Structure 1
Amino acid sequence: MNKLQRIKLVQTIIVWQKYISPASLAAFGVALILLIELFIPPYIGMADNGDYYRILYSNGLYFNAPDYTSQTLGYFVKNFGIFQYYNENSALLYSSQTLFVRLALTISEWFGYNRQFDIRIQAALYGVLYVGAVYLLVKAAAWKASRRAGYGLALGAVFVFGDIGYLAYFNSFYSESVVLIMLMYLFSAGMLLYQRQYNDYFLLFLFGASAMILTTSKQQNAPIGLIVAMVAVLFVFLKRDRIFRTLAGMQAVVLLLTAVGTYVLIPEQFVNINKYHAMTRGVLMTADNPEQALDFFGIDRQFSVLTGAIYYDQFSPIPVESEEMQTQFLDKYGFPSIARYYLTHPESAGRIFETAARNAFSNRTKLGNYEKSADKPFGKRTLAFSGYSYLKEWAAPKTSGFVVIWMIVIAGLYAASFYRAVKERALRRTLRLSMILMMMLAGLCAMAVSVIGAGDADLAKHEFLFAVAFDLVTFWVIADCVCRRLWGPNAKKNAGEEDPEPSALLQGGQQ
């Protein structure tokens, strides 16, 4: 390489670093993978596991493929019919996912596609939001990092969050797409508040909006809303600005009410389905003696024949919708009594949580990714851009003990900086550990709710939130290590030096 070529190379690198930040590089990389996998043949998506009807009919869509049933579980279907006249179907469940489905349907009609809905329109909507979330995450993770570290984190983010295990959900009607995007915005907003990178009011709004959408996306996220609401209380003491404090306080209350409302509005039909699986696929399967386990709940021992049964089984010893099933089985117990059973039967609790741990580190389900027209075998999953999914499944110790150790180690890594922030009465700097604990507790809560509330039924999907929380927290810890922000002077430097607005909470409320 001659001198002129070296000069041109240096100039190119300078221009690259000036206009292409690590956050922009990560966003571009994920967007490129999205384009290749979801919008260029063969299209990648996720097959229906039988749950699509819950969100489809009430939003004006219906199954219009004559052989749709035969494609369930194995093939991805991208086209659906749009009701042209009166839609008599009411909402089966209340979910923020409806907002995105309706918006995608409206966009489809804007472009003249008012008879057939192409799910890729929804994927494009999710894709735009997701690319923005990746940008903010890397913006926070690579803040004031060295050039090499910043671009290394960007490539790492593309590898992890550009994995097809995440992106394939966008071409589906599963609410996991909303969970993924909003959890990423929630975590990024909290960390950007800690770093003072953007306007506090904007970040407060972003945190609150993403928390509300996340909580209402799935009924099982109601307890997670309570965890987020508790962290949101800290924002009240973040600034001395009366308006900010008022808005932060109102936000915390709204998040609390949202969590309670999400739980209250769970339809009875879905409560029964989950209760059925919690007993047949949880308590009875983990008990040494299913008959004795039924005695704990005051249920007739004859119901032990349901051990391992699925609510949707074509043939059941006892019809699942019969009055006998309702009065003599389902009405005899609830989620609190199941939790009490596990607390008093540690052997069963250990078995069910070990089952949960084995599925907690999987970003992918066993559902097919290809259309039937792609001439792939039934249930075939793509290998493209799935490196992180397979690495995670292969490398992660799938035990509940590892989950506990992971949480303890990470909390310990940040304990010193948290103690120093409390000692210096700088609440803003305590947000880092608070956000990390929030994510870990949310993931743990998702795991517990899944196994207590539905046994081992469809755990890969039910524990999806834990998988995302694990990736976000682990990515952040690696970023802090690479950027030397764990204990050294950078930990304070990167949090805005000395907080000009010390916490009223830690100063005894003085103004």
Structure 2
Amino acid sequence: MMLFHRAWQWMLRFVSPAAFAAAGVFVITVLALLVPPYIGMADNGDYFRILNSNGLFFNDPNYMNHYLGYFVKNYGIYQYYNENGATFFSTQSWFIKASMWMSQLIHPSTTFDIRYQAGMYMLLYTGAVYLLVEALTWNIARKLGYLIAAIAIFIFGDTAYTAYFNSFYGESVVLIMMVYMVAFGLLLYRKRYNDYAMISLFVLSAMILTASKQQNAPVGIITALLGIFFIFIREKRGYRLVTGMLLIALLGVGIGSYVLIPKEFELINKYHAMTRGVLLNSADPEKALESFHIDKQYAILTGSLYYDPYTPYKMDSPEMKEQFFDKYGFGSILVYYITHPDHAGKMLNIAAQEGFTIRPNAMGNYEASVGKAFGAHTAFFSGYSWLKEATAPKTFGFILIWIVVICGLYMPSFVYAIRSQEWRESLRFVLIFLFIVIGLSGIFVSIIGAGDADLGKHEFLFTLSFDVVSLITLRDLLAKQLWNNRSIGRTTPVQAGQPPHGGQAIQA
């Protein structure tokens, strides 16, 4: 007992809650991803585009037999001419190239071990968790800080999140950059570190996240528009000019990410938006097609996928283009859902059923050599993802209630801050609302853009946004700062005899 007490006192003195959280997530992730049996994610067919454009190829003759079921960690590196050009732009390629360079520097070979990528992601993620917990625990009681750090480990150390690092899915970049966005935003709100550095890193993280996947294009646009609040937190003209230019650049990245979506991907998504969306739960598919002036004979495509081996129509035929694809777009699909709220409600409830699943059920986590069943999932440090999926009410109504409750809790302090023209104080609600809207964009873009096709993975933005917003709210509840956000530059009440985390507060 005495030993435990001494260890606790030593940690209180020398280890900050942020360092504790970062170390915890780091150790758990190392054990999960870099120690046998390695945990990763199986390919669902999406790897091909990102691999070939970055100089990698499938060198396992049995690779196709591993689709969906087994994680594969070794890939071949093109040694000569790579005839496969980049099919689309993604910031994910930067990380793949960097990990390939690191691999060749440490262990020159004609093969690439994906664990090098996992190691790089893991270091970036550890830094993100450190900054997030630093922002959450700044200037509160040390013991409460450790509780928040433990909750952060429980959530962000979950292998349903970190297994993405041993894969070529873009969700790895989304996860890391979203956590950085939240961290830099909160640090800016709390006036921790340099404002110029925090706003620059916040926008940079948003840019990388936006350009990581085409479906994330709305993130840049939404963040740039709501980011107007960031301009007013300082009166200096230089700061406002820099912030305004950064937000304009972010808006450009968002628009550019949408405009540069390859036509092939747009066609696939359009097909699924109709067959796996509009037609899927329609009581009368033929009547639904008439709303788009499409011949009712195409109702036979209801529920089909673009890549189905046997279809009544050839996808790239002039007939399909003229009589089907040219008849509608994402805008007309949005209008259809608005004018058919009952159908929209069905699709939103389908989305809600997948919206609380972090780990896609379709993809396995183990290598075939481990001997696990095809598609088996790991149970190692998966408590949060299991609890979340098992207990969350899977209806869109619950999501709406959650949004109303969260916004209701933070609205009084926001209204007070606006009336008092204390713009930095208003940032807390702005950030909360921003990440809620980003999460909702993940749902709406998925439904309008591709129906229910691969919905579990497409809603990753929502499930991540739900977690970060809920964690911030829980922190403010525990710190008793929901209605009083005046923690900037002021000393908050702490337990007697305990200094607030981070040292003395800056006096106003």
Q: What letter is aligned with 1:405?
A: I
Match of 2:106 in 1: 111
Say which of 424, 430, 449 aligns to 1:434.
Answer: 430
Q: What letter is aligned with 1:21?
A: S
Q: Does 1:128 align with 2:102?
A: no
Match of 1:139 in 2: 134
Say which of 152, 164, 170 aligns to 2:165.
Answer: 170
Question: C-alpha separation between the residues in 1 aligned to 2:21 and 2:316?
Answer: 50
Question: C-alpha separation between the residues in 1 aligned to 2:266 and 2:90?
Answer: 15
Aligned-pair CA distance for 1:349: 0.6
Aligned-pair CA distance for 1:11: 4.5
Match of 2:344 in 1: 349
Q: Deviations over 1:91-136 (max 9, x none)?
A: 1111110110111111111113341000000001110111111111
Q: What letter is aligned with 1:291?
A: E
Match of 1:226 in 2: 221
Q: Deviations over 1:448-476 (max 9, x none)?
A: 01011100001110000000000000001
Q: TM-score, normalised by structure 1?
A: 0.94
Q: Does 1:55 align with 2:32?
A: no
Match of 1:385 in 2: 381
Say which of 402, 406, 409 aligns to 1:406.
Answer: 402
Contact 1:370 1:381 in 2 (8 A): yes
Q: Secondary structure of 2:211's partner?
A: helix
Aligned-pair CA distance for 1:359: 0.6
Q: Does 1:445 align with 2:438?
A: no
Q: What letter is aligned with 2:247?
A: A
Question: C-alpha separation between the residues in 1 aligned to 2:285 and 2:296?
Answer: 8
Match of 2:392 in 1: 396
Structure 2's unaligned 5+ residue stretches are 492-508
Contact 2:135 2:183 in 1 (8 A): yes
Say which of 259, 277, 284 aligns to 1:282.
Answer: 277
Match of 2:455 in 1: 459
Question: C-alpha separation between the residues in 2 aligned to 1:146 and 1:378?
Answer: 48
Question: C-alpha separation between the residues in 2 aligned to 1:321 and 1:75?
Answer: 32
Gap change, CA 1:9 and 1:161, over 3 Å in 2 = closer
Match of 2:498 in 1: none
Question: C-alpha separation between the residues in 2 aligned to 1:80 and 1:107?
Answer: 15
Question: C-alpha separation between the residues in 2 aligned to 1:468 and 1:392?
Answer: 12
Match of 2:14 in 1: 19
Contact 1:153 1:479 in 2 (8 A): yes
Say which of 463, 467, 477 aligns to 1:481.
Answer: 477
Aligned-pair CA distance for 1:201: 1.4
Q: Secondary structure of 1:474's partner?
A: helix
Question: C-alpha separation between the residues in 1 aligned to 2:108 and 2:308?
Answer: 37
Say which of 55, 61, 70 aligns to 2:65.
Answer: 70
Match of 1:496 in 2: 489
Question: C-alpha separation between the residues in 2 aligned to 1:475 and 1:80?
Answer: 38
Q: Does 1:86 align with 2:81?
A: yes
Q: Does 1:327 align with 2:333?
A: no
Q: Secondary structure of 1:80's partner?
A: strand
Q: Deviations over 1:274-293 (max 9, x none)?
A: 00000000001121100011
Q: Deviations over 1:363-398 (max 9, x none)?
A: 011201000110111111111111111100111111
Q: Secondary structure of 2:227's partner?
A: helix
Aligned-pair CA distance for 1:198: 1.2
Aligned-pair CA distance for 1:10: 5.0
Question: C-alpha separation between the residues in 1 aligned to 2:294 and 2:108?
Answer: 53
Aligned-pair CA distance for 1:18: 1.9
Q: Does 1:375 align with 2:371?
A: yes
Contact 1:232 1:251 in 2 (8 A): no
Q: What letter is aligned with 1:235?
A: F
Contact 1:45 1:370 in 2 (8 A): yes
Q: What letter is aligned with 2:408?
A: G
Match of 1:501 in 2: none
Aligned-pair CA distance for 1:234: 1.9
Question: C-alpha separation between the residues in 1 aligned to 2:403 and 2:488?
Answer: 23
Q: What letter is aligned with 1:353?
A: L
Aligned-pair CA distance for 1:484: 1.1
Question: C-alpha separation between the residues in 2 aligned to 1:148 and 1:404?
Answer: 34
Q: What letter is aligned with 1:406?
A: W
Say which of 200, 203, 207 aligns to 2:198.
Answer: 203
Question: C-alpha separation between the residues in 1 aligned to 2:490 and 2:412?
Answer: 17
Question: C-alpha separation between the residues in 2 aligned to 1:108 and 1:242?
Answer: 45
Gap change, CA 1:9 and 1:455, over 3 Å in 2 = closer
Aligned-pair CA distance for 1:321: 2.3
Q: What letter is aligned with 2:253?
A: T
Question: C-alpha separation between the residues in 2 aligned to 1:207 and 1:75?
Answer: 36
Match of 1:506 in 2: none
Question: C-alpha separation between the residues in 1 aligned to 2:367 and 2:67?
Answer: 11
Aligned-pair CA distance for 1:232: 2.1
Once the two structures are overlaid, the 10-residue window that deviates more, 389-398 or 109-118, is 109-118
RMSD: 1.2
Structure 1's unaligned 5+ residue stretches are 499-511
Q: Does 1:365 align with 2:388?
A: no
Contact 2:230 2:427 in 1 (8 A): no
Question: C-alpha separation between the residues in 1 aligned to 2:111 and 2:274?
Answer: 41
Q: Deviations over 1:145-179 (max 9, x none)?
A: 22221111111111111111100000000000011
Q: What letter is aligned with 1:213?
A: I
Contact 2:206 2:219 in 1 (8 A): no
Structure 1 stretches of 4+ with a deviation exceeding 4 A read 8-11
Match of 1:502 in 2: none
Question: C-alpha separation between the residues in 2 aligned to 1:405 and 1:350?
Answer: 15
Aligned-pair CA distance for 1:265: 0.1
Once the two structures are overlaid, the 10-residue window that deviates more, 317-326 or 257-266, is 317-326
Q: What letter is aligned with 2:453?
A: A
Match of 2:501 in 1: none
Contact 1:362 1:467 in 2 (8 A): yes
Match of 2:236 in 1: 241
Question: C-alpha separation between the residues in 1 aligned to 2:431 and 2:143?
Answer: 26
Contact 1:58 1:89 in 2 (8 A): yes
Contact 1:281 1:310 in 2 (8 A): yes
